[in-house]
Amino acid sequence: MSNNTLADTFAIHVQDVKRIYQSAAEPVVALKGVNLAVAPGQFVALKGRSGSGKTTLLNCIGGLDRPTEGVILVNGRALHNMDDQALTLWRQQEVGFIFQNFGLLPTLSAFENVELMLRIARFPRRQRKDQAMHYLAQVGLSKWAEHRPYEMSGGQQQRVAIARALANQPKIILADEATGELDFETAHEILQLFRTVARENSITILLASHDNLVAEYVDQVLNLQDGQIVESD
């Protein structure tokens, strides 16, 4: 199947990806020939225990790390053919990242945290303001735009992080343990929000998690164990 055909079929296509880290003692094999395919607009969970390779795989798909072997296509773009500068530009334009610890700058308001990503991506000033407020409204935080992270709950901070990831209108969102620091009820709310965001914005979301709760909300569960996909639900 050609790359063009794959681009029409899959938003994310990973073929025989290995990631080996060299250490003083012996090589550490984080990924052992991973294969997976995610269709456009799907909300998919990458499930596994800590140390199973989830974060490494997300980093490779997001262009933050390079696989030792294998091919990764994201919306038809072959990441292995891109240099560091091209990867940086591609991430700014097409990928949104969400982290377990929210990753918000504590001295900036919710609005400023979201708007900063648009400034980095060089959006015009007026568009930055409108777009930041639009996505804060989508996650239900219009009234919290001027509040700083320490004034918000964990769930509210994660909503800001989701708005920030959405702000530059990415084609995919990669979320690493995005509910890991949240209580049960708030985790439900955030997972529902992810599902709504994927459908309303036609965005592909890949969520790495060890939480059994994710199965209630996603279109598919991919199980990762010891650096390999062992089964899918």
Q: At what angle do helices 154-167 and 110-120 cross, to 10 degrees?
A: 20
- Tell me what pLDDT residue 233 has: 61
CA separation for the pair 123, 32 (Å, rounded): 39
Q: How far apart are CA 7 and CA 37, in angstroms?
A: 11
pTM over 0.95: no
> Strands 43-47 and 28-38, how do they pair?
unpaired
Q: Where are the domains of the chain?
A: 3-232
Residue 173 has a pLDDT of 95
- pLDDT (tens digit, 9 = 90+) per residue, 28-63? 999 999 999 999 999 999 999 888 999 999 999 999
| DSSP string for 36-105 | EEE-TT-EEEEE--TTSSHHHHHHHHTTSS--SEEEEEETTEEGGG--HHHHHHHHHHHEEEE-TT----
Contact 229, 38 (CB under 8 A): no
53 Ramachandran zone, left/alpha/beta (phi>0; psi -120 to 50): left
pLDDT at position 5, please?
A: 52
The average confidence (pLDDT) of the chain is 90
Structure tokens at 158: 């994660």
Q: Domain spanning 3-232: which superfamily?
A: P-loop containing nucleotide triphosphate hydrolases (3.40.50.300)
Mean pLDDT, rounded, for 83-93:
91
pLDDT of residue 51: 87
Q: What is the pLDDT of residues 138-193, one digit of tens each?
A: 899 999 999 999 999 999 999 999 999 988 889 999 999 888 878 888 889 889 98
The pLDDT value recorded for residue 107 is 96
